[in-house]
Amino acid sequence: MYCRLTISSSDKIVLPFQYNHIIQALLYKFINDEEYSNFLHNNGYTHNKRSFKLFSFSNIITKPLKIDRETKKFVFPEEISIYISCVDAEFLKYIFQSFAVSEKELRIHNNLAHISNVFFRQDVQNYKEEMEVRTLSPITTYSTLFSADGKKKTYYYTPYEEQFSENIRKNLIKKYCAFYDKEPEDTSFSIKPLGKIAERIIIYKGFVIKAYSGDFKISGSEELKKMAFASGIGSKNSQGFGFILPKDEEVL
C-alpha cells in the first residue's frame, strides 16, 4: 500500500538541497505509538542479523519555485507532496491519524505546516511478467569492499553492471524473509535500465550516496515485485531511496 501525502504552509516552504533526513524524521514523528516507533526506529524487521524498515518515500514531487544555489536551498510553493510506501499497513495508519488531527502544526526544518491531504492507493493490481517502472526517488545498491591496506570502501553499482540487478534481487529476498519469516516460493527477479539513467549524488547526514533515477524494466517473481513496490527497491529505502511506481501510472 502507498499514499500521497500533501503538506501545506501559510508561506513558501524552504528546504535544503539535501532534505532526505528531514522527511524521514517527519515520518517518524507521525508514529504516536512509542512501542511501535521504537521497534521501527531501533530494530525493524530482521533476517540473519540484517535489519529492514520496510518503508520508502519519494522525492518531493512538487516542483520548486526557485533553486537557490548560493544558499543550497529549494524554495517550494506553500503546498508540497511526497509518496510513501510500506509493507506493513500499520505504518500508514499513523499517517492517517495525523491527518485526522490536521490542525496539528508540524515543523519541517524551519517551516511551520500541517497535513492537508492524504490520498491512499491500494497495491498494484496487475502484476505482469515484465513491468516498466519509474523512480520517484533514486535507486542505490552497493558492496562494502576492503582495500589492500584493510580499509573499508563502499562501491556503488551502476544499473549497467550485472551486480546491480543481483544485489537488488538478494535484497528483496531478505526483506521478504524478514517480514514473512519464510522464503518466497519464486526467487527470480531482475531489473534493467530503460533509456537514459541519471546519476544522483545524495548527502545523507554527512555520508555521500550514489544512486540512479530513470525508467527500468523489472521481471520475475510476483512476490518480489510486490515487495519492491511496497518496501522500495535497492538499499537505504527508509532514507528516501528506491520508491518506484509503474511507468504508466499517473503521478498526481
* Residues 196 and 146 occupy one common structural domain: yes
Q: Return the C-alpha cell found at 122.
A: 491500494
- Domain range for 46 is 2-121
User: Residue 181, exposed/middle/buried by CB under 10 A (0-12, 13-18, 19+)?
Assistant: exposed
* Residues 107 and 135 occupy one common structural domain: no
Give the active site residue among 41, 114, 142, 212.
41
Residue 160 belongs to a domain: yes
Give the active site residue among 19, 28, 83, 212.
28
* Residues 221 and 171 occupy one common structural domain: yes
* Beta strand spans in 42-129 (E): 45-47, 50-52, 55-57, 66-68, 73-76, 79-86, 106-108, 111-121
Residues of the chain with pLDDT under 70: 101-103, 125, 252
* Residues 204 and 233 occupy one common structural domain: yes
Structural domain total, the chain = 2
| pLDDT for the residue numbered 252 | 67
Residue 21 belongs to a domain: yes
* Residues 159 and 221 occupy one common structural domain: yes
* Residues 134 and 241 occupy one common structural domain: yes
Residue 252 belongs to a domain: no
* Residues 76 and 139 occupy one common structural domain: no
Give the Cβ contact number of residue 160 at 10 Å: 10
* Residues 98 and 189 occupy one common structural domain: no
User: Residue 29, exposed/middle/buried by CB under 10 A (0-12, 13-18, 19+)?
Assistant: middle
Q: What is the pTM of this model?
A: 0.93
| pLDDT for the residue numbered 105 | 82
28 as an active site residue: the answer is: yes
| pLDDT for the residue numbered 201 | 97
| pLDDT for the residue numbered 243 | 98
CATH number at residue 213: 3.30.70.1900
* Residues 147 and 206 occupy one common structural domain: yes
Residue 251 belongs to a domain: no
* Residues 198 and 113 occupy one common structural domain: no
The total number of residues shown for the chain amounts to: 252
CATH number at residue 55: 3.30.70.1890
pLDDT digits (tens, 9 = 90+) for 94-110: 877 877 765 578 899 99
